[in-house]
Structure 1
Amino acid sequence: MKKALLILNLVFAVLLLASGVRAQNRLIKTRPMGTVTKNELALTYGPFVQYSITTYKVWYLTTGIDGKPDTATGLVVFPVVENKALPLLCYQHGTVNGPSDVPSERRGGWELAGVGAALGYVALAPDYLGLGESRGFHPYVHAATEASAAIDLLYATQEFAEKLKFPLNGQLFLTGYSQGGHASMALHRELERNYSQIFPVSAAAHLSGPYSISGETFKRLISDEPYNYVGYTAWVALSYNQMYKIHDNVEKLLKQPYAGMAMQFYRHEIDLSALNQMLIDTLTKRHGKPISRLMFQDSLLENVSKNPNHPFLLAMRDNDVYDWTPKAPTRIFYCKADDQVTYRNSVLADSIMQVRGAKDVKSADVQSNANHGQCVQPAVLQTVFFFATVQAQIATGTRDLPTLPVRMYPNPAREFTRLEGLPKSGQVMVSNLQGQIIFRSSINNPYMDIPLQGLSKGAYFVQLLSAQGIWHNKLLVQ
């Protein structure tokens, strides 16, 4: 009887592991990926950079796309600093070109994790399942695995920091851009629902993400408007067909020759850029312009329009990440002219969260005329200021972010306002109440005149961030 009970317990433990139930020991191994100096970083990212950084590729245990244990990879970046307990920053990267175009190889947008560490965070960036050294084909914009891969890297990063005797202060900040905006929103939701005692979220900023997959994103993909990123459409079809087992053959979702091109990508024979160009060329040759919906089987689109419970629509709905109520301070930054991810995703997410009673959720069009690539800089800059302000409000004493003794006059003002008592270096930014950045400048002198000609009467926010501290105030323009 005892032997049978022991065997039963072992079987049960294996089943728990296979089903994705996590233990805290996730770290497998690490490899240094190099150091970048503060001066090198400042040349690219501005004078408010505070630290040099050291980068590591990290292998960790997670649950794979098949529900079985898998080894995943990610990047962890430490500031070069001693005797300071610092917060964690989880950065989720945007769409990449293929399995090796990932943060753990210091590619795939890793720089934003590097900037986070240079500003005083211990930054981590998961590669996602099916990318880096994880098995299989990446489940693109699949909320559950975007969240699980990040959570297991959070565990591994804590273990790694403890191994290095690098103190953490218990704060956690979340962000991500494009696909990473979807991933950071999925992670945020999962942490607040199921890990609030283990990984309490201090603040989150989700940037230009496709939060409404079944609604706003799908509308864009099946519209009659040309779309120069049709490779995303094929990737979504491949991803959900794999994860939800909708059909045994992708040809039931996509017409030929598009299905054949997509399968080349699925088998890792071509990368996303090659796939996208092949699809654009073929669509343009056949129809005069690249229209995403023309790749789908007509029967699929017809069935989806008639059946609200069609498996493909249910799969998309399962990956919507906007219909919930964040507790931590949350910002949703976007640009109205985004040519890849429609801004309506952000507007919808904000409105639904407000209706649900979210206490501190705001969206902002940070630069109306910016496309998807151009939106990165203003969205990230707003995120930097937002996180710095939250840290100052937390005021734990473990990270010194004093309020600088800056003077602004005149206020109210008409033609200009002057800032005096500025630090040696840093960034100044002026935003309207909608969050749009209307002025920004590096600090070169102990004073700065901000021109106000052409601005509408009303209130604006003036913010300053530097290695010496932060400052912000409201400006009234008459």
Structure 2
Amino acid sequence: MPARRRLSTVMTCAVMLVGPVVGATGAHAAPAHVDVAPSSHQKNRGTLLHAERLYSLETRGAVAAELTKAGFDASQVRHGVVAHRLTYRTIDPQGRPTTASGLLVLPRGREGRLRAVSFAHGTGSHRDDAPSMQRGTFLTAPPVAYASAGFAAVAPDYLGMGKGPGPHPWMHVPSEASASLDLLRAARDFHPLDRKVLVTGFSQGASAALGLGRSLQAGEDRYFGLGALAPISGAYDFGGAELPALLAGELDRKSSVIYAAYTLVAFNRVHRVYDDPAEVFRVPAVEALFDGEHTGRQLFEGTPDSLSDLLTPYGLDLLAHPRGGLAYALRETDSVCRDWTPRAPVRLYMAVDDEQATTANTAHCAESLRSRGVEPKVVDLGAVVHQGSRHLGSNVRGTAEVLRWFRQLARN
């Protein structure tokens, strides 16, 4: 399959219009819209501002059909599910108050407190490339799968995506972690949750998952703690593994163009990487494509097909030899496996010959954790393919494998 179509599945994730709200039945019969009354606590992170019931899959058969249509395993479905969009208070990369949205999927027929699974999604370009904005897609299948097995699945949209304001600070682990933690807090306001959180994520979300795990273990929330970590196909060593592989032509060519551009634009939003886009891009208008309003197709049509046509000599050299704001941003992003020692079980999932996230990322992460006395289990998912992509395939098979492990942990 051409590279253009492969990456468009990740970057485009076509907008899914949610149909009419199904009548509420069962244990989670929440009204379609719930506005939380203003209180003195609304200035706090994680305060639930608004809950909207999106859809209900009443039966196991309905869930299985939706997962199968999205290309995901349906063998572990045990419940119907109800999906909600939560809007909540959080902070931006500078620590200033803002809001974000995310998806909460609950199992039908399960009363009382539930174990939460936090799933962080992969890269998107349009603000609708977010779990709470779609249905029956590659983005929503993992949280639906976890909820159908009896967990409370929470999936942050991230800052600047879904219903959140502003641009998206892509691969900024601190804000991904804070948005994820604050969604857990909002979800607990909506439904009782267990203390120990099972944390997973795919691609961009793999680093976000590690960031959330670090925050949970550090006690950043007085209630929640870390139960287990299971990231899938992450770019954990973005500066030391991903960028070198990208520049060496070892990864999918068009993917490399998109990720190189996204790296410079998104990191520049938090740490000054350049003063003018003309310094790094041969066509400065490329920067405007990453405003959250352009689709993946528009990114493909608006960017060249090679790094040499995308970047100026200075831009290429900057990626090859990061310095200034870029070097600082990479140290921050690449700290997810280096600056802490997980005390919960860790499994790292990867797929051989991943064409977007070089498997050296996983090897470096495992090595770093071992140097700190942690022995993560590395799970090779094999040469799995979804819509022509092994990277996407790793999320499909990885979701099934992570769910089996999480169910085993929940039984113990």
Q: How would you bin the TM-score normalised by the shorter chain? A: 0.7 to 0.9
Over 3 Å counting, the alpha-carbon distance change for 1:305 and 1:46 in structure 2 is closer
Question: Alignment partner for residue 38 of structure 1, among 53, 60, 70?
Answer: 60
Over 3 Å counting, the alpha-carbon distance change for 1:269 and 1:177 in structure 2 is closer
Over 3 Å counting, the alpha-carbon distance change for 1:368 and 1:111 in structure 2 is closer
Over 3 Å counting, the alpha-carbon distance change for 1:269 and 1:104 in structure 2 is closer
The residue number in structure 1 matching 2:262 is: 235
Could you list the per-position Cα deviations for residues 170-204 of structure 1 after superposition, in whole angstroms to 9, with x for gaps in the alignment? 23111111111121112112222243753211111
Cα shift at 1:221: 2.5
Over 3 Å counting, the alpha-carbon distance change for 1:62 and 1:122 in structure 2 is same
* Residue 175 (structure 1) aligned with residue 175 (structure 2): no
* Residue 122 (structure 1) aligned with residue 152 (structure 2): yes
Cα shift at 1:83: 3.2
The residue number in structure 2 matching 1:373 is: 392
Over 3 Å counting, the alpha-carbon distance change for 1:386 and 1:183 in structure 2 is same
Structure-2 separation of matches of 1:267 and 1:305: 25
- State the one-letter code of the partner of 1:228: K
Instruction: Give the match's secondary structure for 2:392.
Output: coil
- State the one-letter code of the partner of 2:83: T
* Residue 311 (structure 1) aligned with residue 325 (structure 2): yes
The residue number in structure 1 matching 2:369 is: 353
The residue number in structure 2 matching 1:329 is: 345
* Residue 83 (structure 1) aligned with residue 104 (structure 2): no
Could you list the per-position Cα deviations for residues 407-435 of structure 1 after superposition, in whole angstroms to 9, with x for gaps in the alignment? xxxxxxxxxxxxxxxxxxxxxxxxxxxxx
Structure-2 separation of matches of 1:269 and 1:378: 31
Cα shift at 1:355: 1.4
The residue number in structure 2 matching 1:195 is: 220
Instruction: Give the match's secondary structure for 1:357.
Output: coil
Asked if the contact 1:326/1:361 (under 8 Å) is kept, the reply is no
Structure-1 separation of matches of 2:147 and 2:402: 14
Matches of residues 207-218 of structure 1 in structure 2 within 5 Å?
A: 207-218=232-243
Structure-1 separation of matches of 2:160 and 2:46: 21
The residue number in structure 2 matching 1:430 is: none
* Residue 204 (structure 1) aligned with residue 225 (structure 2): no
Cα shift at 1:65: 4.2
Which protein has greater RCO, CA pairs closer than 8 Å, 6+ apart?
2
The residue number in structure 1 matching 2:357 is: 341
Cα shift at 1:228: 2.2
Cα shift at 1:222: 1.8
Could you list the per-position Cα deviations for residues 260-298 of structure 1 after superposition, in whole angstroms to 9, with x for gaps in the alignment? 1232x134453233213432xx33xxxxxx3x3653332
Question: Alignment partner for residue 274 of structure 1, among 298, 303, 307?
Answer: 298
Could you list the per-position Cα deviations for residues 229-256 of structure 1 after superposition, in whole angstroms to 9, with x for gaps in the alignment? 12122111111011102223222222x2
The residue number in structure 1 matching 2:23 is: none
The residue number in structure 1 matching 2:276 is: 249
Asked if the contact 1:91/1:174 (under 8 Å) is kept, the reply is yes
* Residue 96 (structure 1) aligned with residue 124 (structure 2): yes
- State the one-letter code of the partner of 2:51: T
Structure-1 separation of matches of 2:76 and 2:264: 42
Structure-2 separation of matches of 1:55 and 1:232: 31
Instruction: Give the match's secondary structure for 2:78.
Output: coil
Structure-2 separation of matches of 1:253 and 1:132: 29
Name the structure with the higher strand share: 1
Cα shift at 1:68: 2.3
Structure-2 separation of matches of 1:316 and 1:72: 24
Asked if the contact 2:125/2:292 (under 8 Å) is kept, the reply is no
* Residue 28 (structure 1) aligned with residue 52 (structure 2): no
Could you list the per-position Cα deviations for residues 415-470 of structure 1 after superposition, in whole angstroms to 9, with x for gaps in the alignment? xxxxxxxxxxxxxxxxxxxxxxxxxxxxxxxxxxxxxxxxxxxxxxxxxxxxxxxx
* Residue 362 (structure 1) aligned with residue 377 (structure 2): yes
- State the one-letter code of the partner of 1:392: R
Cα shift at 1:139: 0.7
* Residue 155 (structure 1) aligned with residue 178 (structure 2): no
Report the identity percentage.
27
Structure-2 separation of matches of 1:169 and 1:238: 38
Asked if the contact 2:82/2:108 (under 8 Å) is kept, the reply is yes
Cα shift at 1:380: 1.4
Q: How many residues align?
A: 354
* Residue 390 (structure 1) aligned with residue 409 (structure 2): yes
Structure-2 separation of matches of 1:329 and 1:212: 21
Question: Alignment partner for residue 262 of structure 1, among 267, 273, 287?
Answer: 287
Structure-1 separation of matches of 2:400 and 2:273: 41
Instruction: Give the match's secondary structure for 1:206.
Output: strand
Cα shift at 1:82: 4.0
Asked if the contact 1:241/1:250 (under 8 Å) is kept, the reply is no
Cα shift at 1:25: 5.5
Asked if the contact 2:280/2:311 (under 8 Å) is kept, the reply is yes
Structure-2 separation of matches of 1:317 and 1:111: 32
Instruction: Give the match's secondary structure for 2:187.
Output: helix
- State the one-letter code of the partner of 1:245: R
- State the one-letter code of the partner of 2:396: Q
Cα shift at 1:305: 5.5
Cα shift at 1:304: 6.4
Cα shift at 1:48: 2.5
Structure-1 separation of matches of 2:318 and 2:158: 32
Asked if the contact 1:64/1:134 (under 8 Å) is kept, the reply is no
State the superposition RMSD in angstroms: 2.2
Unmatched 5+ stretches in structure 2: 1-41
Could you list the per-position Cα deviations for residues 145-191 of structure 1 after superposition, in whole angstroms to 9, with x for gaps in the alignment? 11011111111011111xxxxx4332311111111112111211222
Unmatched 5+ stretches in structure 1: 1-20, 162-166, 284-289, 394-478
Instruction: Give the match's secondary structure for 1:146.
Output: helix
More deviation in 105-114 or 210-219? Answer: 105-114
Asked if the contact 1:92/1:125 (under 8 Å) is kept, the reply is yes
Structure-2 separation of matches of 1:25 and 1:204: 22
Cα shift at 1:120: 0.6
